[in-house]
Chain A
Amino acid sequence: MATAFKQIEDEAIEAARSIAYSMPIEDIDMTDSARFVDNTHWAFFERLRKEAPVHYCANGRFGPFWSVTRYKDIMAVDTNHAVFSSEAHLGGITAKDQDDDFILPMFIAMDQPKHDMQRKAVSPIVAPANLAVLEVLIRERAQKIFDNLPINEPFDWVDRVSIELTTQMLATLFDFPWEDRRKLTYWSDVTTIDVSAPDAKMTRDEQRAILIECLTYFTGLWNQRVNAPPAGDLISMMVHNPSMRDMQPMEYLGNLVLLIVGGNDTTRNSITGGLLFLNENPGEYQKLREDHSLIESMVPEIIRYQTPLAHMRRTALQDTILGGQHIKKGDRVVMWYVSGNRDETEIENADAFIIDRARPRQHLSFGFGIHRCVGNRLAEMQLKIVWEEILKRWPMIEVIETPVRVQSAFVKGYERMMVRIPG
């Protein structure tokens, strides 16, 4: 029963395969978020990897762009920051350019040397000593969340577990007013809404107005912290750091949304994805039940298999050759992590979810090079605790219907996933 919904999804994926292989290859536009809502992007990426691994799309939704879909080529772009820029003013790090009249500078969308200085200002938050402190806190909270879940009745795993847990974490990292913490979730979601999609939930102006509300709220916190002695939270770290204390408001907002989305959306969707994959792969769930020590290797496998951010984008600073293709200065280059993570030439049996892989951390989900995810070990720790606490309580949590996916070619995640804990 639990996997009946998977059959329906598999049929849709197969139906998409014939479209993927029959349409003119130059017409394939992977920035079309519709392929991510219905989870039918797989065959398109598979074809690109085989036939046009560095692929030019002249009429993309957000303008012309290159798709890089193989693991090795993605690694080559990600590690060549001298040629492939992340700079916000050149478009930034998503397939969609930042809007010229609403540029949000943030360290992920900066090149050296400023990127390095700002990143170093906040990275102590995930230093080993601090992770050890956070581990205790995360476990207590996870226990509380799990102890209050309903038994034998359907509920939304995304809302009750994935969002709640990651939002509590984020509130702690910012030392954010506890009762207002769901604002963080809201701002995170609003930031990544694809407002140009046909049936988008809000307009661009509404989105901007909400982000300005976010800035106003956080400016209040900035003013509090600036008058207080330096503390261990992210805002205090920024306030008291020479490379960040003089940021303009939009740069403060930019770095805030970076930390909010980076610390929230990604882990949230991996917490949801993990439970989904185990339901889709009962044999793996059984292996896990029999040997809880497999959590260690399962966690990175979940992160690979989910790939919570489908892509990162760069802009070429000079003419260059990649995979035999001539990339021109100024070209938009999109690295599809979601595709590279399924590249059979680099990862054995890449389409399968296997919780005891020998080298599970060999995946692209965190990116590589100087922009590699600063919170990767925190993310892994959160997932590890989630699964340790789940397995202490229940041998099985059933996903009972097809999850609702996010309409975005950037954030690859879930809006809702109904589950039931058998009692």
Chain B
Amino acid sequence: MPRVTFVEPSGTEHQVEIANGYSVMEGALNNSIRGIDGDCGGNCACGTCHVYVAAEWRERTGTQSEMEHDMLEFAEGVRADSRLCCQIEMSDELDGLVVHIADSQH
């Protein structure tokens, strides 16, 4: 199963396995990763699964959709590498992915 590393704002790392077809947000919730809330259940509708994607992965994770961009408009600490991780679907190609969790979700 492909692996993803979540990095907390404090620097603490958590490596988890997420099955293909699941979103990175679902993987975080199933593994009780702190700092990923995912209130809307993966509908790109709440902005509470905000992460930063390391530069080397951005091509493979794709870019923000229009709705995702609209939701991130209101998130805290948005940067060019911001993503809502409910919109990143796991695949073998993403094995080893590293995402940094934003400071707060709301």
The distance in angstroms between the C-alpha atoms of A269 and B67, with both chains bound, is 32
Contact B73 A368 (CB under 8 A): no
Contact A79 B45 (CB under 8 A): yes
**In the complex, chain B residues whose CB is within 8 Å of the CB of A362:** 39-41
Q: A99-120 vs B: 1/0 string, CB under 8 Å? A: 0000000000000100010011
25 residue pairs bridging A and B, Cβ less than 8 Å apart: A75-B40, A79-B43, A79-B45, A79-B67, A81-B70, A116-B73, A120-B73, A126-B106, A127-B76, A128-B103, A128-B104, A362-B39, A362-B40, A366-B39, A368-B43, A368-B45, A368-B46, A369-B45, A370-B70, A370-B73, A370-B74, A372-B47, A372-B74, A374-B74, A376-B106
Given contacts A75-B45, A79-B43, contact A123 B74 (CB under 8 A): yes
Contact A75 B43 (CB under 8 A): yes
Q: B68-106 vs A: 1/0 string, CB under 8 Å? A: 001101101000000000000000000000000001101
**In the complex, chain A residues whose CB is within 8 Å of the CB of B41:** 359, 362
**Known A120-B74, A370-B74; 5 more pairs at CB < 8 Å:** A79-B43, A116-B70, A116-B73, A370-B71, A370-B73
Instruction: Tell me whether A361 is interfacial, beta carbon within 8 Å.
Output: yes
> Which B residues from 24 to 80 make CB contacts under 8 A with A?
29, 37, 39-41, 43-47, 67, 70-71, 73-74, 76
Minimal Cβ-Cβ distance residue in B for A80: B67
**In the complex, chain A residues whose CB is within 8 Å of the CB of B39:** 361-362, 366
Contact A377 B106 (CB under 8 A): yes
Given contacts A128-B103, A128-B106, A377-B106, contact A79 B73 (CB under 8 A): no
Instruction: Tell me whether A78 is interfacial, beta carbon within 8 Å.
Output: yes
Task: List 5 tightest A-B contacts by C-beta distance, closest first.
Answer: A368-B45, A128-B104, A377-B106, A361-B39, A79-B45
**In the complex, chain B residues whose CB is within 8 Å of the CB of A75:** 40, 43, 45
Given contacts A120-B74, A361-B39, contact A372 B46 (CB under 8 A): yes
Most buried by B among A81, A112, A377: A377
Most buried by A among B29, B41, B103: B41
**Which bucket holds chain B's interface residue count?**
10 to 19
The distance in angstroms between the C-alpha atoms of A78 and B67, with both chains bound, is 12
The distance in angstroms between the C-alpha atoms of A366 and B46, with both chains bound, is 9
**In the complex, chain B residues whose CB is within 8 Å of the CB of A126:** 106
Contact B104 A361 (CB under 8 A): no
Question: Interface SS of chain A: helix, strand, loop or mixed?
Answer: loop
**In the complex, chain B residues whose CB is within 8 Å of the CB of A79:** 43-45, 67
Given contacts A127-B76, A374-B74, contact A368 B40 (CB under 8 A): yes
**In the complex, chain A residues whose CB is within 8 Å of the CB of B71:** 369-370
The distance in angstroms between the C-alpha atoms of A366 and B103, with both chains bound, is 21
Contact A119 B43 (CB under 8 A): no
The distance in angstroms between the C-alpha atoms of A128 and B40, with both chains bound, is 20
The distance in angstroms between the C-alpha atoms of A361 and B49, with both chains bound, is 13
Q: How far is the CB of B34 from chain A (nearest CB, A)?
A: 12
Q: How far is the CB of B35 from chain A (nearest CB, A)?
A: 12
**In the complex, chain A residues whose CB is within 8 Å of the CB of B45:** 75, 78-79, 368-369, 372
The distance in angstroms between the C-alpha atoms of A326 and B29, with both chains bound, is 37
Q: How far is the CB of A122 from chain B (nearest CB, A)?
A: 11
Minimal Cβ-Cβ distance residue in B for A380: B106
Contact A361 B37 (CB under 8 A): yes
The distance in angstroms between the C-alpha atoms of A93 and B102, with both chains bound, is 32
The distance in angstroms between the C-alpha atoms of A126 and B73, with both chains bound, is 15
Q: How far is the CB of A215 from chain B (nearest CB, A)?
A: 27
The distance in angstroms between the C-alpha atoms of A282 and B47, with both chains bound, is 35
Minimal Cβ-Cβ distance residue in A for B70: A370
Given contacts A128-B103, A377-B106, contact A112 B70 (CB under 8 A): yes
Minimal Cβ-Cβ distance residue in A for B44: A79
**In the complex, chain A residues whose CB is within 8 Å of the CB of B46:** 366, 368, 372
The distance in angstroms between the C-alpha atoms of A220 and B40, with both chains bound, is 41
The distance in angstroms between the C-alpha atoms of A372 and B105, with both chains bound, is 13
The distance in angstroms between the C-alpha atoms of A376 and B45, with both chains bound, is 14
The distance in angstroms between the C-alpha atoms of A339 and B53, with both chains bound, is 37
Q: How far is the CB of B94 from chain A (nearest CB, A)?
A: 25
Most buried by A among B44, B71, B74, B104: B74
The distance in angstroms between the C-alpha atoms of A366 and B37, with both chains bound, is 15
Q: A186-221 vs B: 1/0 string, CB under 8 Å? A: 000000000000000000000000000000000000
The distance in angstroms between the C-alpha atoms of A376 and B46, with both chains bound, is 11
**In the complex, chain B residues whose CB is within 8 Å of the CB of A366:** 39, 46
